[in-house]
Amino acid sequence: MPCMGPPFANPLANLRFDNRYVRELPADPVTENFRRQVAGACYSRVRPTPVPAPTLVGWTPEVAALLDLPTEPDDADALAEVFGGNRVLDGMDPIATCYGGHQFGNWAGQLGDGRAINLGETVNRNREHWTLQLKGAGPTPYSRGADGLAVLRSSLREFLCSEAMFHLGVPTTRALSLVVTGEQVVRDILYDGHPAAEPGAVVCRVAPSFTRFGHFEMLAARQEAELLRRFADFTIATNFPHLLVEEGKERYLAWFREVAERTAEMVAHWMRVGFVHGVMNTDNMSILGLTIDYGPYGWLEDYDPDWTPNTTDAATRRYRFGQQPAVAQWNMLQLARAIFPLVGEAEPLNEALKRFAEWYRDLSRTMMAAKLGLPDYLPAQDDQLWTQLYALLGAAETDMTLFFRDLARVDLQDIAIEPLLDAYYRPPEPSVRERLVAWLERYAARVRMVVEIGELTDDQRRRRMNAANPRFVPRNYLAQLAIDKAEEGDYSLLRELTEVLRHPYDEQPGKERFAAKRPEWARRRAGCSMLSCSS
């Protein structure tokens, strides 16, 4: 008799749910799914909209393991049914949450999960809670004028980049799966009157919580003071339980300070790796200091602090690379305003806001020291060294990622600029070469200071640099190439890129093409250097 083998065990059998957000916070009493303002509640119950042909095209083993799910998606159809939104499991209680936000500096009123649906909070074998959230699973009461859907292009970008960020050591929400829905979704990519159909997709995002600054702002704007307190208490009890030792307003202040520290740390990492979020509205700021809502984000190619990938922000470039720390602080100010009723005193909140700048400065100095392989940052020496370095990077188109990575390869006993030439988009002019040599000499002298007191060897310097300066980042054009193939039904490049980005700090022989600087064709192509919010 032929051996039939056992049928697949139910791959989802291990999921356990404990939906604290639903249990402990007030629900919108209306359960029909139509667009509306939702006052006096933190969420609305809503079902994902079924899709015709869900197909699993991306699965992240590390995230699956976090959730006690199989790391190999053997029963892909069963997974696609659930993570494409066609099947709600026992124990799930799907909701869309209510939040507001400041968009591009202006209060925008109620926004909410317009196309995100929290399926539930799983509890893994280590008793950690993880919220599962589908993005693009259909309209909710918060969809306003839009369709609640997402296209493959933007979903692939989120799936790829959130995991790349995790492996780069940047705090982020995670991505479990990428499902194409079998449905076409119409988008006008550059908002220029050229709508076209694109494949639809759903990403399952995973985080300890998806709460945003905007959740608190919404309750404050509606003057729902009791609910604001209840929501803050819930957030602290579930996500900041170590702060429960504090009492009264001290607890809220300790919480605010921790949010500030985490936010500063997140942005310092963005600046270290060259990430531009693109839409740092307060509704896109996680209360846990996680990078959230991957939209028209981009990666710096040539070092340009004024660069933003977001064409929707082209006029003022509010969210440009170099402005991210200042915008984060402005966003913290909006959070301070929102939670003011819980504290009742402006002074300590102002104090924490001032400290934000110091935390950011200290964290970024630590990272700057690591980028140069130094054990610490000495302002008397290093302020000038960095000012000169920034000027040098701005003097000719220089790939940020390649420059820092290859800097570790320069022999500081016998300076030659050859290891750095690949970082230049065009062969550098003689004046730039001279400045580069002069800077390398200053840098070598700075390194010698530490070597001479026995606190650094060359090997240590290189190892420190290679742990702070990635070889591989999800370059804008690489993501676009993976999208081009995926739209033809070929996911091999997505898989290969995902695999390479699991080890961004390792040299990976044979994978050099994924570390190559932007080719000329990608300079002006939409999706590579220009992105809109269309997703």
Catalytic residues, which ones? 283
Q: Which is nearer to ligand AMP, 357 or 526 (CB)?
A: 526
Q: Is 81 in the site for ligand AMP (CB under 6 A)?
A: no
**Tell me, what DSSP letter sits at residue 84?**
T
Tokens of 387: 């000012």
- Looking at residue 247, its amino acid is E
457 by Cβ neighbours in 10 Å (0-12 / 13-18 / 19+) ranks as exposed
Contacts of 148 (CB under 8 A, 6+ apart): 49, 114, 115, 136, 137, 138, 139, 140
- Looking at residue 4, its amino acid is M
Please, what is the minimum distance in Å from the beta carbon of residue 112 to ligand AMP?
5
**8 A C-beta contact, residue 222 and residue 215:** no
Please, what is the minimum distance in Å from the beta carbon of residue 75 to ligand AMP?
30
Q: Which does 279 bind (CB under 5 to 8 A by kind): Mg ion, ligand AMP, none?
A: ligand AMP
Q: Is 217 in the site for ligand AMP (CB under 6 A)?
A: no
Q: Which does 113 bind (CB under 5 to 8 A by kind): Mg ion, ligand AMP, none?
A: ligand AMP
Considering only residues 148 through 167, tell me which ones interact with ligand AMP, judged by CB under 6 A: 148-149
Q: Is 221 in the site for ligand AMP (CB under 6 A)?
A: no
Q: Is 284 in the site for ligand AMP (CB under 6 A)?
A: yes
Cα(296)–Cα(294) distance, integer angstroms: 7
Q: Which does 111 bind (CB under 5 to 8 A by kind): Mg ion, ligand AMP, none?
A: ligand AMP
Q: Is 147 in the site for ligand AMP (CB under 6 A)?
A: yes
Q: Is 112 in the site for ligand AMP (CB under 6 A)?
A: yes
- Give the contact letters, 232-271, x = binds to ligand AMP (CB under 6 A), - = no: ----------------------------------------
In the complex, residue closest to ligand AMP by CB: 114
Tokens of 117: 């649906």
Of 310, 290, 283, nearest in space to 116 by CA: 283
Tokens of 162: 């959130």
Tell me the site size for ligand AMP, rule CB under 6 A: 16
Cα(444)–Cα(441) distance, integer angstroms: 5
Contact pick of 13, 65, 146, 445 for ligand AMP (by CB under 6 A)? 146
Contact pick of 111, 156, 164, 218 for ligand AMP (by CB under 6 A)? 111
Near ligand AMP by CB under 6 A, which window of 111-119, 412-420, 443-451, 523-531? Answer: 111-119
Q: Is 293 in the site for Mg ion (CB under 5 A)?
A: yes
Q: Is 265 in the site for Mg ion (CB under 5 A)?
A: no
Q: Which is nearer to Mg ion, 213 or 234 (CB)?
A: 213
Cα(280)–Cα(166) distance, integer angstroms: 19
Q: Is 284 in the site for Mg ion (CB under 5 A)?
A: yes
Contacts of 182 (CB under 8 A, 6+ apart): 51, 52, 53, 54, 55, 200
Considering only residues 115 through 144, tell me which ones interact with ligand AMP, judged by CB under 6 A: 115, 142-143
Q: Is 217 in the site for Mg ion (CB under 5 A)?
A: no
Per DSSP bridges, beta strands 116-123 and 174-187 are unpaired
Instruction: Report DSSP letters for 389-408, one per residue.
Output: HHHHHHHTTBBHHHHHHHHT
Q: Is 535 in the site for Mg ion (CB under 5 A)?
A: no
- Looking at residue 292, its amino acid is I
Contact pick of 11, 48, 73, 295 for ligand AMP (by CB under 6 A)? 295
Q: What are phi and psi of 123, to 5 degrees?
A: -120, 120
Please, what is the minimum distance in Å from the beta carbon of residue 97 to ligand AMP?
10
Of 121, 127, 62, 67, nearest in space to 92 by CA: 121
Q: Which does 143 bind (CB under 5 to 8 A by kind): Mg ion, ligand AMP, none?
A: ligand AMP
Of 154, 126, 139, 133, nearest in space to 212 by CA: 133
What is the number of other CB atoms lying within 10 angstroms of the CB of residue 31?
11
Q: Is 364 in the site for Mg ion (CB under 5 A)?
A: no
Contact pick of 109, 114, 182, 208 for ligand AMP (by CB under 6 A)? 114
Which runs of E-coded beta strand occur in 394-495? Answer: none
Please, what is the minimum distance in Å from the beta carbon of residue 102 to ligand AMP?
12
In the complex, residue closest to Mg ion by CB: 293
Q: Is 73 in the site for ligand AMP (CB under 6 A)?
A: no
Q: Is 313 in the site for ligand AMP (CB under 6 A)?
A: no
Q: Which is nearer to Mg ion, 297 or 303 (CB)?
A: 297
Q: Is 186 in the site for ligand AMP (CB under 6 A)?
A: no
Instruction: Report DSSP letters for 232-268, one per residue.
Output: HHHHHHHH-GGGGGS-HHHHHHHHHHHHHHHHHHHHH
Residues interacting with ligand AMP, by CB under 6 A?
A: 111-115, 142-143, 146-149, 279, 284, 293, 295, 533
Residues interacting with Mg ion, by CB under 5 A?
A: 284, 293
